[in-house]
């Protein structure tokens, strides 16, 4: 094996610039990076999604490139001391290859699993899926996007025949007469999007927010519906009930473009507004105002996000709002529609090209013979050699180290020790593995448990493509080379594939091109071929086409033809071209409150932090803005506990506890407790959360569980 290192960027050379995109959320805001005398600065750049604006996370993103905590050497766990110690790349790769071969020889191919991330470029997501299925030949691959918007993806697939977060450009939000946000807080999760909300209201539009908390977004709304956590589906059904009784249903659209409405009509007949009010706490008056604002609008858009989706009934909840949108005739109508606010930077592209347990590139299904044959042909392997479907993320993580589960896990760009539900249990599963490999550029809580840690390039050190929440494929451009001792994920995968295939060549692999090319553009060209003819068809999207304009929207099957900024104008990608209604009914949370655990617990984000906090907690300005976790309580709850603002409290569920300072807020519901999920250790919110999962999407129930709160006793 060669060392694979490259020279560092030298100070003193002429300034260089790269037009690229923010490494954080799915807006993928345009920015320019400028390096002079070894210092990298972020400059504004006009791009359709953000029009030159950035949030504090974006402005400070370059500070991580040369951070003192940056990993620049491989680490191996010393069996004698138990410590992670610096090692050569050869030693690290040999440890991985030997471990994989030994484990698979003893326990079978599925004894090795792969866990990816929603921040990986399209090229890396594609290569990781191919590596799992062609090199490891394991069925066990999934990714942290399963914890993000898998419920909306599943609901979109069964209703529309396709999953694209926004089936229309983001700018359409600014032209809506009525905009309904359900469980979305973009003012804190993706602040540059707020410009479109501001534009919408400037034009006289009405913004309605459904959220159990009075968030920064809810404070900007014309109307805020504040339901009990876990009752969004009851609200959706009541809104459709009102739309039916008051004559807002577009019966011509329903008859001509959909199926299944009669069953839905019967299901929502019993969701009269007073019943929904009794269950959710949302008043009849507010339900009626919302239904009338949507039904009477010339242009109306309904958006869901994590608040509605991260439930054990998340698919049904999203479906309730999809039903409402279809009944009003919104999808495919100019300036109207239903959409989902994708969260992670490449949450859209990351799930399109093979990281999910049941999917192949282009949204092809791994259990569909024609799909398997197409992708196998591109990959140069027999279709029968491809493994079958794996299991969703939480089931995969919870099976690690068990007698019938994987004995090794390779983690790319994810931190499940902080981000997984029932996190203490998952941490224990990771400790039970025979081999844990983590690939990252910072030492996360998950990396701290690893047997092998491999340093990887950051976003400004590699080329590639991302797909934002609109389905717009765009270009990430490298500003500089990675530091000495650091490889890109593609270079790492290429090296591992070569090493694992040496001495194990079968007739299907003889004279084949490298399984994983290390060059991102070469990988993208292969991705185009693998996705051709699929739902997410990238065949007509080249890097040159992206460079010539502000990205390209999939599907785009022909390099000489148009892309598709707006879906559903004429038909839906279903066999008969019609969208599907699905009757859905509210059901209680997987865990209800009781005398021992009398409060509802919910989680979310804060403006200055991102995901598991591995990156943002290391940026001084962001750490100053949001230095620590907290527990948001209503003052009445605090009074009963004898707790004052800032005092430590303990939140306990049946799975564990978190300890953090109390933050008193009269705007939170008195029956609800909130904590952000960006911190590990004693303040880890996901120690408390419920690991019940949606039966369709595999989404865990992050947004509601039963807890009690106690004053923390100093020790």
The runs of H, that is alpha helices, within 203-342 are 232-245, 251-257, 261-268, 273-280, 284-295, 306-309, 314-327
Could you say which of 3.40.228.10, 2.40.128.20, 3.40.50.720, 2.40.110.10 is the CATH number of the domain covering 150-341?
Answer: 3.40.228.10
Segment 474-493, tens digit of pLDDT: 999 999 999 999 999 999 99
Backbone angles phi, psi at 245, to 5 degrees: -70, -25
Class of domain 88-147+346-461+481-520 (CATH, top level): alpha beta
C-alpha 3 chain-centroid distance: 33
For tokens 């439930």, the residue is: 311
CATH 3.10.520.10 fits 599-711, yes or no: no
State residue 514's pLDDT score: 79
Calculate helix-pair angle for 489-501, 89-107, nearest 10 degrees. 50
Once rounded to an integer, what is the mean pLDDT over residues 130-155?
Answer: 96
Residues above pLDDT 90, as percent of the chain: 94
Mean pLDDT confidence for 436-463: 98
Query: Can you point out the beta strands (E) in 96-236?
Result: 112-116, 141-143, 178-182, 206-210, 223-225
Q: Give me the DSSP letters along 607-672.
A: TT--TTSTTGGGSHHHHHHS-S--EEE-HHHHHHHT--TT-EEEEE-SS-EEEEEEEE-TTS-TTE
More confident: 354 or 255:
255
Per-residue pLDDT averaged across 399-423, rounded? 97
Considering the chain, what is the average pLDDT of its residues?
A: 95
pLDDT in tens, 637-690: 999 999 999 999 999 999 999 999 999 999 999 999 999 999 999 999 999 999
3-state secondary structure of 436: strand
Domain spans of the chain, in order of start: 88-147+346-461+481-520, 150-341, 599-711
Q: How many whole angstroms separate alpha carbon 210 and alpha carbon 232?
A: 8
State CA 89 to chain mean position distance: 31
């Amino acid at each position: 094996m060669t060392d694979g290192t490259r020279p560092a960027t030298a100070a003193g050379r002429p300034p260089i610039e790269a037009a690229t995109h923010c490494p954080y959320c799915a807006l993928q805001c345009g920015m320019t990076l400028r390096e002079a005398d070894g210092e990298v600065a972020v400059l504004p750049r006009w791009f359709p999604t953000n029009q030159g604006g950035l949030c504090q996370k974006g402005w400070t993103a370059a500070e991580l490139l040369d951070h003192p905590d940056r990993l620049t050497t491989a680490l191996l766990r010393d069996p004698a001391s138990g410590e992670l110690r610096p090692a050569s790349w050869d030693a690290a790769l040999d440890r991985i290859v030997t471990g994989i071969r030994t484990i698979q020889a003893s326990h079978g191919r599925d004894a090795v699993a792969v866990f990816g991330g929603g921040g990986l470029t399209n090229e890396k997501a594609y290569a990781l899926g191919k590596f799992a299925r062609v090199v490891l030949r394991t069925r066990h691959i999934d990714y942290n996007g399963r914890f993000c918007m898998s419920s909306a993806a599943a609901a979109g697939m069964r209703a529309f025949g396709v999953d694209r977060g926004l089936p229309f450009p983001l700018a359409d939000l600014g032209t809506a007469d009525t905009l309904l946000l359900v469980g979305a807080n973009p003012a804190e999760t993706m602040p540059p999007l707020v410009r479109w909300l501001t534009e919408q209201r400037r034009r006289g539009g009405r913004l309605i927010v459904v959220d159990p908390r009075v968030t920064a977004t809810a404070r900007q709304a014309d109307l805020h519906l504040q339901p009990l956590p876990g009752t969004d589906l009851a609200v959706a059904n009541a809104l459709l009930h009102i739309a039916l009784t008051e004559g807002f249903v577009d019966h011509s659209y329903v008859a001509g473009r959909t199926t299944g409405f009669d069953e839905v009509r019967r299901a929502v007949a019993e969701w009269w507004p007073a019943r929904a009010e009794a269950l959710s706490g949302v008043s009849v008056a507010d339900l009626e105002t919302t239904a009338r604002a949507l039904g009477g609008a010339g242009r109306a858009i309904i958006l869901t996000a994590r608040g509605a989706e991260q439930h054990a009934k998340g698919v049904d909840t999203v479906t309730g709002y999809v039903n409402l949108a279809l009944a009003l005739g919104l999808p495919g109508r100019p300036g109207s529609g239903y959409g989902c606010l994708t969260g992670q930077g490449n949450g859209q592209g990351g799930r399109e090209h093979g990281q999910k347990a049941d999917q192949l590139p282009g949204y092809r299904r791994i259990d569909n013979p024609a799909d398997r044959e197409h992708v196998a042909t591109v990959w140069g392997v027999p279709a029968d050699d491809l493994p079958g479907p794996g299991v969703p993320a939480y089931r995969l993580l919870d099976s690690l180290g068990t007698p019938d589960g994987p004995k090794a896990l390779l983690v790319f760009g994810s931190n499940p020790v902080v981000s997984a539900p029932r996190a203490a249990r998952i941490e224990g599963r990771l400790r039970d593995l025979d081999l844990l490999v983590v690939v990252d550029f910072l030492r996360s809580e998950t990396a701290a448990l690893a047997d092998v840690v491999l340093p990887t390039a950051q976003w400004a050190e590699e080329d590639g493509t991302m797909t934002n929440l609109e389905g717009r494929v765009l270009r990430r451009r490298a500003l500089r080379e990675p530091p000495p001792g650091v490889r890109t994920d593609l270079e790492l995968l290429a090296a591992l594939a070569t090493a694992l295939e040496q001495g194990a060549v079968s007739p299907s692999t003889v004279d084949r091109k490298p399984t994983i090319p290390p060059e991102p553009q070469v990988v993208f060209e292969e991705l185009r071929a693998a996705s051709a003819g699929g739902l997410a068809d990238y065949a007509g999207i080249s890097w040159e086409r992206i460079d010539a304009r502000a990205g390209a929207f999939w599907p785009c099957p022909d390099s000489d033809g148009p892309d598709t900024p707006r879906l559903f104008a004429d038909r839906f990608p279903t066999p008969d071209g019609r969208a599907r209604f699905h009757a859905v009914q509210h059901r209680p949370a997987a865990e209800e409150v009781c005398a021992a655990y009398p409060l509802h617990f919910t989680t979310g984000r804060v403006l200055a932090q991102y995901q598991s906090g591995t990156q943002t907690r290391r940026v001084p300005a962001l750490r100053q803005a949001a230095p620590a976790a907290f527990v948001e309580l209503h003052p009445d709850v605090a009074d009963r506990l004898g707790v004052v603002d800032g005092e430590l409290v303990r939140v306990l569920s049946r799975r564990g506890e978190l300890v953090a300072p109390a933050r008193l807020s009269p705007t939170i519901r008195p029956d609800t407790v909130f904590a952000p999920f960006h911190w590990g250790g004693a303040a880890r919110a996901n120690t408390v959360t419920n690991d019940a999962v949606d039966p369709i999407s595999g989404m865990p129930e992050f947004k509601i569980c039963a807890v009690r709160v106690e004053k923390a006793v100093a020790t």
